Amino acid sequence: MSDLVEAILLGIIQGLTEFLPVSSSGHLELAKVMFGYDKSAGESMLMTVILHGATALSTIVIFRKEIIEIIKGLFSWEKEQVEFSGKIILSMIPAAVVGVLFDEQMETLFDRQILLVGLMLVVTGALLFLADNAKNTNKKVSWNNAFIIGLAQMIAILPGISRSGATISTSVLLGIDRIRAAKFSFLMVVPLILGKMAKDILSGEISYAQGDLVPLLVGFGAAFVTGLVACTWMIALVKRSKLSYFAYYCFVVAAIAIAKGMGWF
């Protein structure tokens, strides 16, 4: 399979699975194994970071009105917007700490660890089942809840744990309104992804020497376009309480990943 075709397929997978609660990182690692992706761990991680950057951009596009309101509110010191921004920052802290302190260790988890992906997908499916059966409430995101959701995002660094699945499920189980939960989940990851990209660029980890520029750009474009579609779709699905469908899907993919990881095929 050519590098361009691989990049397009990986981009589509990332764009769809970043917002759908099925673990984008897990699917990327599984796809890399299935495609025979033979890049080094550093090059593999580079592609993953670039694709996540594309879906961060699609999040910004989808929620541009909300983001503009937040920025305006911050400059005018509107209490509601200042508090919301503070909660976003608070929710980022757990994942940011792990990312800074254990960056090298985390990179090894993104090197075709398929058995780990399968086991973590089982956890994701269980979370989705629990959230789908939770009662609907109209609670807003509190400071305590923001930190707990941040802990869920920290755990979702593991490939196979869906970030959106973990954070939305946690939010719903805490009694937060489903639409608020989805928006908070999608917005809270944007600064983290952009921060990760900035860190890698400044440290020299993202460079043209580690990968061909064209496949990276093609993958970025594919992830961005599919991300726009998936983000809009996911908000509608959360509103209609259809998370259990994705739980079944996670269990099926988990079975495939575990079988592959155990060398059964």
- Which of the 8 DSSP states describes residue 141? P
Identify the residue whose tokens are 């376009």.
225
- Please give the Cα distance from 196 to 153 (Å, whole number): 15
Question: First-to-last CA distance in the chain?
Answer: 20
Q: What was the pLDDT predicted at 265?
A: 74
Please give the backbone phi and psi of residue 206, each rounded to the nearest 5 degrees, phi first.
Answer: -95, 110
Q: Are 26 and 121 in contact (CB under 8 A)?
A: yes
Closest CA to 127 of 78, 184, 166: 166
Q: What is this structure's pTM?
A: 0.84
pLDDT at site 235: 81
Give yes or no for a contact between 118 and 257, defined as CB atoms under 8 angstroms apart.
Answer: yes
Distance, in Å, from the CA atom of 95 to the CA atom of 107, rounded to the nearest integer, reads: 14
pLDDT for residue 219: 93
Supply the pLDDT for residue 204. 65
Residues (pLDDT < 70) of the chain are 1, 38-42, 44, 107, 109-112, 201, 204-211, 241
Query: Is 116 within 8 Å of 109 (Cβ atoms)?
Result: yes
Which residue do the tokens 């509190």 mark?
Answer: 142
Do residues 46 and 10 lie in contact, with contact meaning Cβ atoms separated by under 8 Å?
no
Structure confidence at residue 207 (pLDDT): 58
Distance of CA 111 to the CA centre of its chain: 17
Please name the residue ranges forming H helices in the chain.
3-19, 24-35, 41-62, 64-75, 79-101, 103-108, 114-132, 143-155, 163-173, 178-203, 213-239, 243-261
Instruction: Identify any residues that bridge with 176 across adjacent strands, giving them in sequence order.
Output: 139
Residue whose pair of structure tokens reads 């984008």 in the numeric block? 24
Q: How many domains, in total, are found in the chain?
A: 1
For residue 15, give the amino acid letter: G
Q: Write out the residue range of the structural domain in which residue 58 sits.
A: 3-261
